[in-house]
Amino acid sequence: MKQMLDSVGDGVLGARCRVCAVGNFCYQFQAWANESGLSSSKYNRKQNIAPGEALYVHGETSAAVYLVCEGVIKTETETEDGKQQVAHFHLPGEFLGLEGMGGGPYPGSAIACSPARVCRFSQDEVFSVCGRQPDLLRKLFAGLGESIRSERYKWKLVRNEIAYYRVLFFLCDLLIRQQGVAHAGTVLLPMEKRDISSYLGMNPASLSRELSKLETKFLIKRLSQDQIYIRETALHVLDDFN
pLDDT digits (tens, 9 = 90+) for 46-56: 789 999 999 99
Which domains does the chain possess?
A: 2-149 (2.60.120.10), 161-241 (1.10.10.10)
The pLDDT tens digits of the residues spanning 60-79 come to 888 888 889 899 999 998 87
User: According to the model, what pLDDT value does residue 230 have?
Assistant: 96
124-167 per-position pLDDT tens digit: 777 777 666 677 667 766 766 666 666 666 556 555 568 888 89
Look at residues 203, 209, 225, 90 and name the one whose alpha carbon lies nearest to residue 150: 90
Instruction: Fill in the amino acid letter for 27.
Output: Y
Q: How big is the CA angle at 225 (ends 223 and 226), to the nearest 5 degrees? A: 85
CB contact set of 49 (below 8 Å; sequence gap of 6+): 55, 71, 73, 112, 115, 116, 117, 118
Burial call 87-113: b when 16+ CB within 10 Å, e when fewer: bbbbbbebbbbbbbeeeeebebbbbbb
Rounded distance, CA 176 to CA 184, Å? 9
Sequence-ordered alpha helix ranges (H) in the chain: 2-8, 10-13, 23-35, 123-130, 134-160, 163-179, 193-200, 204-216, 232-241
Query: Is-contact 218 231, C-beta < 8 A?
Result: yes
Q: Say how far apart CA 94 and CA 118 lie, in whole Å.
A: 10
Label residue 101 by pLDDT band (50, 70, 90): confident
